[in-house]
């Protein structure tokens, strides 16, 4: 395979790649639809893994190239991205500041001390809790304070989702093309939780450069209006095209049917799906991101939307550390 555009970008090794592409035989049999394959990005390493590790390889590469000594990023209180950023900083010797916004209405007693927050602290990050409306101003003050103290901060956007970070999912697209060819998997449909848009944009851009054209179905888990997610994806795609134009048009597909009432609030279907896959396959998903993607996959199969498909691929984007602060959702 000839060199793709992302192979020339600064990149620091953080994860265990390629992640496995595993068949889920018992779930496939239970649903009676296509063979279900799981792209195990929960196994990417770096403090319980997850999809942000791929993005952080390029983002930390850019930070190192810029001469930064400190990483600063944003997320919800239980942000998987912030946890993986803290782990990347520890691995590479950066200082790390996390702006944790209270975006989710939960009264769990451990919500601001357990789950990912506990891991953030163990990884040595400085945590700054704030209300969502004040997060941007707080980050600006932190940057100014760090610079005044002689530090060189590098600001990473929420979710690691910009053109730099999205290159990590172009690499994932490349892995999937190679793995599907080696494992006799039909690269027809790829499903994943879609939120800050870097995962979906990177996949679409990567597949286009590779001459592959699977359906990439993003399951909206974060925005009350799915048009917001689509706009984010389009913006990142446009920025990626400035680096290397995609040779073919891409189709942005975002499904809003599994969102529920709000970001961070699990649906009954999500909880049921997490239980089903745990008991059939011994695999764990989270109720904020990946669990809603599983619920979407199960429902789409049950209503017959994949009746003509031989294979479907679900990307496990990680997130299981939050299960401990969502235990009340499984009662």
User: What tokens does 329 get?
Assistant: 């959702």
Q: How far apart are CA 47 and CA 33, in angstroms?
A: 34
Q: How far apart are CA 114 and CA 108, in angstroms?
A: 10
In the residue annotation, 238 being an active-site residue is answered as no
Q: How far apart are CA 141 and CA 129, in angstroms?
A: 14
Q: Determine which one of 28, 44, 79, 194 is catalytic.
A: 79
Query: Burial, 38: exposed, middle or buried (Cβ in 10 Å; 0-12, 13-18, 19+)?
Result: buried
Q: Give one DSSP letter per residue of 192-240, joined into a string.
A: EEESSSHHHHHHHHHHHHHT---EEEEEE-S-SSHHHHHHHHHHHHHHH
Q: Where on the phi/psi map is residue 64: left (φ > 0), alpha (ψ -120 to 50), or beta?
A: alpha
Place of tokens 């049999």: 29
- Identify the helix (H) or strand (E) that includes residue 70: strand 70-76
Residue 331: how many other CB atoms lie within 10 Å: 5
Helix axes 52-65, 163-183, angle to 10 degrees: 130
Closest among 227, 220, 289 to 258, alpha carbons compared: 220
Active site residues: 79
């Amino acid at each position: 395979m000839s060199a793709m555009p992302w192979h020339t970008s600064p990149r620091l090794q953080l994860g265990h790649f390629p992640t496995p592409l595993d068949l889920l035989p018992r779930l496939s049999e239970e649903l009676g639809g296509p063979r279900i394959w799981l792209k195990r990005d929960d196994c990417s390493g770096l403090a319980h893994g997850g999809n942000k590790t791929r993005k952080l390889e390029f983002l930390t590469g850019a930070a190192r190239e810029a001469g930064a000594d400190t990483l600063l990023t944003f997320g919800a209180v239980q942000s998987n991205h912030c946890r993986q950023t803290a782990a990347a900083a520890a691995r590479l010797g950066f200082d790390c500041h996390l702006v944790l916004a209270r975006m989710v209405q939960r009264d769990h007693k451990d919500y601001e001390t357990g789950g990912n927050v506990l891991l953030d602290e163990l990884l040595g990050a400085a945590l700054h809790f704030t209300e969502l409306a004040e997060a941007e101003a707080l980050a600006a003050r932190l940057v100014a304070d760090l610079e005044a103290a002689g530090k060189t901060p590098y600001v990473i956007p929420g979710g690691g989702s910009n053109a730099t970070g999205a290159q990590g999912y172009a690499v994932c697209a490349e892995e999937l093309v190679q793995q599907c060819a080696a494992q006799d998997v039909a690269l027809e449909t790829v499903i994943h939780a879609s939120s800050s848009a870097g995962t979906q944009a990177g996949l679409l851009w990567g597949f286009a450069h590779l001459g592959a054209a699977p359906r990439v179905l993003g399951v909206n888990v974060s925005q009350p209006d799915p048009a917001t997610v689509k706009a984010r994806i389009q913006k990142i795609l446009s920025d990626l095209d400035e680096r290397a134009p995609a040779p073919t048009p891409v189709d942005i597909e975002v499904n809003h049917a599994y969102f529920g009432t709000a970001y961070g609030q699990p649906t009954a279907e999500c909880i049921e799906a997490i239980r089903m896959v745990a008991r059939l396959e011994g695999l764990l998903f989270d109720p904020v991101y990946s669990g809603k993607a599983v619920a979407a996959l199960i429902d789409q199969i049950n209503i017959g939307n994949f009746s003509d498909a031989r294979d479907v691929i679900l990307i496990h984007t990680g997130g299981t550390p939050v299960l401990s602060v969502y235990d009340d959702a499984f009662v």
